Structure 1
């Protein structure tokens, strides 16, 4: 603010016009008129986009793009006012006409639909940056399904979409914030403008934390941008960019801002030569301002002193709010500050602790040990250990985990060590309890390192199964104990499990124990991952199923023997029924009585229908059900042979249904009787006709069968309770008695029998 007052005073005293005389030779009359009507142009720039644009000291705007625009404003005689905000907000401000122009914006076809651009100002290559020790991301393709940080509204997101790269975008307000996400491990990579990212890394002493990989993804064409349709302002700025390039202004700006650590190499005279004469004229006013500034400085010092005191109290309050022991030492091991918990531990107030060392409070052995951990923390940046302590205020003891971190100032100089001790007494008790459970689980439990696949943990059940002790296995891998083919199998399954997040189930896994026995294990493996999702351990649980497999094999062998025996029974029954059928056929040849011949034929058909059931069962792998379609096909073939010479067509439409064995013989007899009746009674001697069989499933788990013909049909006075023949009574008895089903018969251009029964 003081600098602005100073410059304003100088301009006020100088009283000269900055409007150039040769502006008419560069700008058209319309452009000059526009500038007369809009003496002030509002530019929006990014808060943190160094070296191109950033918020400088005292809230001023600074950077390469800012200097370029200030030069153009001086040449064309307009006032350039700057407002800094986030990149996304800056774009929205111009699109909403809340500002006139963006100081810098990458050109793209998509953005060209909403903005008008000046000629190129600077080329800015975009690179991929990752943690310096990360080897798995080397190119654009490696960003698929990764977490990629970038400045909100940056062209990089549009570029990934164009290239078909699917990634989780983590938008930030600045490139610096995006880079910090990568350093903190919260993002896998950042796509950023080379100069801006390197400026942040270099100025923040982070060059060893992050590296760039691969070639530039694209070369950003940085330009000044206005909203689409603001053609006069675009034309004015375009002429300004062209004039600046012709006058070597870009080279001067580049030399100033792209030197070592982006420092300004110009002398004081070079920087201030424009205002030097005016400053001499204004020396008296400057001296008055200096006196005013001194008074202001005293006030500011007093104010800052009060703030420091408040901050000190606030810091102490924060220290005391931490439930763990917390203390701060300088680089020489002297106490600077501690919280209330630590004061209770020592039984002293802070005034008696500050400025002392560990040798003032602990035995020499303990003090030397604590000092050694301080030294390690100062050398390596961090140290940790576990200690048993006893509080002086009430005498109770705790087991604590102590973590020490070194502290450095802005220049990287060591200034102290911050230590925190967390009570882990309950955690150790819980770990002991958990160890007891793991050791007493009857199944084998083991843990391997995810990278080397070396054993880390082995319980007692595992020792019993493989025959090796946990101490023998620790630090070794499968190749140290098992045959190579087994070790290859175990290693391959381990790698498969580490690549997945769900459980890998291995139903049977043979393993050779130390005494040479082969055991069968049922193993489940799962990867244990860290917070970044990277597998660090492999957990395996194995059940010894050797005895169960032996029992299963014995049962399988017994079941096979029973199947063979049952097939033989059905084969013999079928053969015996075939013999009965043959005897009936031979006996029928010895008689001329038509009624006797018909009786023999009916008996033979019934025996054949039962024989077909056992024939199908003999050839089947399933002994409790038979397929109805296959059975009906065999029955139809038999009846065609029995009634050869009759011009009767039989059609079947049966679903694929397996019926229960206990219903098979009854169904066979019913179909045989109905089909035989159609052959014998539905058509005359010389008549032709057709018979149709349909079998289908119906609701409630039932089966419905329908046998119909297009013959003469039943007599009008047909009453199954009075006039039914023995065959009809047999059909009804089998449906109602054996199948526990229902039936109906009707005349519909012939005879239609319908019956249903449950198929359990």
Structure 2
């Protein structure tokens, strides 16, 4: 491979009078070695070339050393520049850096390597070393050859980060050099900070926390609040089966409680429940718990339970439930007694009506009786309802109309009734006025709309409007109707005057249409109140 180089270069170099080549030659043993060939052209008195005087030197060892050095430098460059850590070469005597890699430039956000050369490394720290600290560091390096510490740094752009600073004394060509490595540990420091914070929170939070191994059902950790809640000393619950804290009775065993809870958590990942527990001294108490599944690096799959003693809350709830039940019973009794009293008054009016010979008086007593019946029916519905604060008007309307037909002895074959009543709950202070309005309008229709036993039809609608905040009650008949000259505002009719007052009471509006039969439309706000 070297012959062509020599043949091409030799004539040119001889013209200059001397030459020097390094090339390989084959030894008689078949191996190849390196040769230094240097010579000089000799000329005669006329200047003509006559001979070449030179020498050969076997430089194989030197070339081998050069190759080794070259490979060493390439390896050093590869390690130095390919390292993800910031590397510096520092003079032990002056403490100044004389070389760094690209990772150092990137980590410290420098413009170039030159910005980090010929500086003391600790000038990049948030808090610089004091002269005494530097002396101690140098002493440790001289004695042990290595030294390290976690240090907070500030980059050239003012960004703070944590680094692990490590120094190692190395020797290159009999020269002592400090190899300095800075590893970015900001993420690790933040993780450690978070872990410490979580540990502080776990130890001091008001709820009890425990970790239970899914494999064997043993408690692997319990915070102080949990142990205090169950009456145990610090650390006493560790490695204990969790069933010792679950209450058992004649119907269920403690281990069954644990298995049921574990099954729910493994199925859903998390489970919130109330559990009956038992303290170390045997005292049972209630806990509100939320337990989730978690893969722990040391204990495998564990259940993390957060529990809070709710014994007082449970007792309070039980007392409230008992009190509420008593109030519901009392309120039902009140509605029942009001209904009975109203029925007594209605019966008295009925008796009086039968004894009077004046037909007009009898009709007045009958109207009063029906009004009282409409109110009593509201209390009857509330008495039988599960919700004592409201009634379903869709159930109320048919019962009221049936009572009116019976009261006026009207057959359903004579006057047909049609309903379009939506299931809308009404509070008692709205239901009673609406019942009285419906009573007056239907009573008037039955008395006056179909004279001489004429057949007819009454239509009742009750619906929620599109705005969802108002309701409409409509009563329409196809009877003889009301004269168009009729003014409801100036009427002397007791029933219609009562209707006007009741519409005003529920903040509603009333429209009267006399074009074909009679149509009353009442629109009012839904003031339903839940309790």
Bin of the TM-score, shorter chain as denominator length: 0.5 to 0.7
Alignment of 1:192-203 (within 5 A): none
Residue 548 of structure 1 aligns to a residue whose secondary structure is helix
Q: Distance in 2 between matches of 1:681 and 1:616?
A: 29
Q: Distance in 2 between matches of 1:670 and 1:300?
A: 118
Q: Distance in 2 between matches of 1:625 and 1:468?
A: 52
CA deviation vs aligned residue, 1:202-241 (integer Å, no higher than 9, x gap): xxxxxxxxxxxxxxxxxxxxxxxxxxxxxxxxxxxxxxxx
Residue 216 of structure 2 aligns to a residue whose secondary structure is coil
Residue aligning to 1:517: 283
Residue aligning to 1:565: 330
Residues 1:623 and 2:393 are matched in the alignment: no
Superposed structure 1 runs of 4+ greater than 4 Å apart: 291-295, 298-305, 317-320, 389-394, 420-433, 480-484, 498-501
Residue aligning to 2:446: 679
Residue aligning to 1:478: 242
How far the C-alpha of 1:491 sits from its partner, in A, is: 3.8
Q: Given the alignment, which residue of 737, 746, 749 partners 2:513?
A: 746
| Change in CA separation of 1:346 and 1:318 when aligned onto 2, cut-off 3 Å | farther
Q: Given the alignment, which residue of 204, 214, 219 partners 1:440?
A: 204
- Unpaired segments of 5 or more residues in structure 2? 1-25, 35-59, 89-103, 105-120, 122-133, 152-161, 167-182
Residues 1:654 and 2:421 are matched in the alignment: yes
Alignment of 1:105-184 (within 5 A): none
| Change in CA separation of 1:422 and 1:748 when aligned onto 2, cut-off 3 Å | closer
Residues 1:487 and 2:270 are matched in the alignment: no
How far the C-alpha of 1:477 sits from its partner, in A, is: 2.0
Residue aligning to 2:433: 666
Residues 1:600 and 2:365 are matched in the alignment: yes
Residue 436 of structure 2 aligns to a residue whose secondary structure is helix
Residue 756 of structure 1 aligns to a residue whose secondary structure is strand
Residue 715 of structure 1 aligns to a residue whose secondary structure is coil
Q: Distance in 2 between matches of 1:654 and 1:293?
A: 114
CA RMSD in angstroms comes to 4.0
| Change in CA separation of 1:321 and 1:446 when aligned onto 2, cut-off 3 Å | same
Q: Distance in 2 between matches of 1:716 and 1:311?
A: 113
Residue aligning to 1:361: 144
Residues 1:706 and 2:507 are matched in the alignment: no
Kept after mapping to 1: 8 A contact 2:209/2:226: yes
| Change in CA separation of 1:302 and 1:748 when aligned onto 2, cut-off 3 Å | farther
Larger Rg: 2
Kept after mapping to 1: 8 A contact 2:374/2:436: yes
Residues 1:756 and 2:520 are matched in the alignment: no
Kept after mapping to 1: 8 A contact 2:208/2:308: yes
- Unpaired segments of 5 or more residues in structure 1? 1-286, 325-339, 353-359, 363-388, 403-419
How far the C-alpha of 1:450 sits from its partner, in A, is: 4.3
Residues 1:585 and 2:350 are matched in the alignment: yes
Residue 445 of structure 2 aligns to a residue whose secondary structure is helix
Kept after mapping to 2: 8 A contact 1:708/1:753: yes
CA deviation vs aligned residue, 1:480-509 (integer Å, no higher than 9, x gap): 5556622331243235424544x3211x11
Q: State the TM-score, normalized to the length of structure 1.
A: 0.47
Kept after mapping to 2: 8 A contact 1:527/1:535: no
How far the C-alpha of 1:312 sits from its partner, in A, is: 2.1
How far the C-alpha of 1:463 sits from its partner, in A, is: 1.1
How far the C-alpha of 1:675 sits from its partner, in A, is: 0.3
Q: Given the alignment, which residue of 612, 616, 628 partners 2:377?
A: 612
Q: Distance in 1 between matches of 2:262 and 2:32?
A: 72
| Change in CA separation of 1:390 and 1:642 when aligned onto 2, cut-off 3 Å | same
CA deviation vs aligned residue, 1:254-297 (integer Å, no higher than 9, x gap): xxxxxxxxxxxxxxxxxxxxxxxxxxxxxxxxx9xxx99999xx
Kept after mapping to 2: 8 A contact 1:741/1:757: yes
Q: Distance in 1 between matches of 2:509 and 2:520?
A: 11
Residue aligning to 2:315: 550
How far the C-alpha of 1:603 sits from its partner, in A, is: 0.9
Residue 303 of structure 2 aligns to a residue whose secondary structure is strand
| Change in CA separation of 1:547 and 1:673 when aligned onto 2, cut-off 3 Å | same
Q: Distance in 2 between matches of 1:541 and 1:528?
A: 13
Q: Distance in 1 between matches of 2:435 and 2:218?
A: 67
Q: Distance in 1 between matches of 2:190 and 2:521?
A: 77
CA deviation vs aligned residue, 1:675-699 (integer Å, no higher than 9, x gap): 0111111111221111010000012
Kept after mapping to 1: 8 A contact 2:218/2:240: yes
How far the C-alpha of 1:586 sits from its partner, in A, is: 0.9
Kept after mapping to 1: 8 A contact 2:381/2:391: yes
CA deviation vs aligned residue, 1:379-438 (integer Å, no higher than 9, x gap): xxxxxxxxxx986999xxx9x9x9xxxxxxxxxxxxxxxxx9989888767645543332
